[in-house]
């Protein structure tokens, strides 16, 4: 491990261990106290393997929009470079797409 950053990694690791085992208390708008615990996982994978791990469809070869972060088409991916050049996915667009798919069923 690189000494210059090792203390930062140890600090983050300690905080994650605490969050996973002890959690933290949150008071809801109804004045209820709840304990939230969590953990962090990182997975390095190509798209099909990542989709399999997350329970999503594995193949994107036939998809019109290839990227899971923006609404890029194959042609746009070939010609554009910067994030600003693409339309990023957002909650409203996602909900509209889900509605359209549901209506087609």
pLDDT digits (tens, 9 = 90+) for 17-39: 888 899 989 999 999 999 999 88
**pTM of the full predicted structure?**
0.40
* Tokens describing residue 30: 């109804």
Burial (CB count within 10 angstroms: exposed 0-12, middle 13-18, buried 19+), residue 30: exposed
Domain regions of the chain by residue span:
3-36, 47-104
pLDDT at 78 over 80: yes
Span 47-70, average pLDDT: 75
Instruction: Output the DSSP codes for 8-62.
Output: HHHHHHHHHHHHHHT-EEEE-TTS-EEEE----------HHHHHHHHTS-S--TT
Sign of the Cα torsion 17, 18, 21, 23 reads negative
Tell me phi and psi for residue 34, to 5 degrees: -125, 150
pLDDT at 1 over 60: no
- What pLDDT, on the 0 to 100 scale, is given for residue 59? 67
- What pLDDT, on the 0 to 100 scale, is given for residue 73? 86
């Amino acid at each position: 491990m690189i000494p210059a950053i090792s203390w930062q990694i140890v600090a983050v690791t300690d905080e994650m261990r605490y969050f996973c085992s002890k959690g933290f208390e949150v008071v809801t708008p109804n004045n209820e106290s709840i304990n939230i615990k969590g953990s962090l996982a990182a997975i390095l994978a190509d798209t099909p393997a990542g989709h399999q791990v997350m329970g999503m469809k594995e193949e994107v070869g036939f998809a019109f929009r290839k990227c899971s972060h923006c609404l890029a088409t194959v042609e746009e991916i070939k010609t554009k470079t910067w994030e600003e050049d693409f339309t990023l996915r957002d909650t409203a667009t996602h909900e509209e797409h889900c509605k359209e798919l549901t209506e087609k069923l």
